[in-house]
Copies of this chain bind each other. A is one copy, B any other.
Amino acid sequence: MIRVVVQEAPFDFGAEAAAFARGRTDLGAIVTFSGIVRDVADGLSVMEIEHYPGMTEKALEKIAAEAEARWSLGEVLVIHRHGRLEAGEQIMMVATASRHRKHAFEAAEFLMDYLKSRAPFWKKEHTEAGTGWVDATEEDEAALKRW
C-alpha cells in the first residue's frame, strides 16, 4: 500500500512512525528517513519550499510505485511539506516496510534519491547572509545512477 501526502501543515513524525505498518505482522523490517531544516551557519534560517501542485503528488506516487516494483515492500509512506519552515522543523519523511531489512533500506534510499532530484520541489533559504535558491548538487544527481 502506498500513501503519499503533500501538505503545508506540520506532521507528527513520532505518530506517523508509530502508526506505519502497525498490525502488519508479516513485515519484520521498517525503515524511516526524515529530513529536518538545518540551521545554516549560525544565523537562524527559514526555508521556503515551493512545489508544483498536481505534478508533485503524481511524481511522488510514481517514485513510490517504482520502489514497490523493485523491492518486496508491504507498505510505503511519503510525506512532504511545502511553504515556510523554520530551523528544526521536519520537512519530510519516507517509510518502508518489508520482510527483509535490505529491501526496506534500499527502497528508502531509492525514494530519497529520487525525491531529491525528481520530485518538483524547490528550496529557498533565508539566512542572515541573504536569500537564495538552493542549488541542486552533482552529488544528488550522481546518486540516481546507483539504481
Q: Which residues of B contact A34 (CB under 8 A)?
A: 29-30
* Contact between chains at A25 and B37 (CB < 8 Å): yes
Chain A contact residues: helix, strand, loop or mixed: mixed
- Which residues of chain A from 43 to 59 have any CB-CB distance to chain B below 8 Å in the complex? none
The distance from the CB of A119 to the nearest CB of chain B, in whole angstroms, is 15
Identify which of B17, B30, B31, B33 contacts A36 (C-beta below 8 A). B30
Q: Which residues of B contact A101 (CB under 8 A)?
A: 33, 35, 112
Expressed in whole angstroms, the Cα–Cα distance for A3 and B6 within the complex equals 33
- Sort chain A's interface into a size bin: 35 or more
- The answer for the CA separation of A12 and B15 in the assembled complex, in Å, is 11
Contact in complex: B32, A36 (CB < 8 Å)? no
**Could you say which residues of chain B place their CB within 8 Å of the CB of A143?**
102
* Binding stretch for chain B, among A60-68, A76-84, A103-111, A125-133: A103-111
On chain B, the residues within 8 Å of A29 by CB distance are 33-36
Q: Which 10 A-B pairs have the closest CB atoms?
A: A14-B18, A25-B39, A14-B14, A17-B17, A28-B38, A25-B87, A25-B88, A32-B32, A30-B34, A28-B36
Task: List, sorted by A's number, 22 A–B pairs whose CB atoms are closer than 8 Å.
Answer: A12-B18, A13-B17, A13-B18, A14-B14, A14-B15, A14-B17, A14-B19, A15-B18, A17-B17, A17-B18, A17-B32, A21-B36, A25-B39, A28-B37, A30-B33, A30-B36, A31-B32, A33-B101, A33-B105, A35-B101, A102-B143, A105-B109
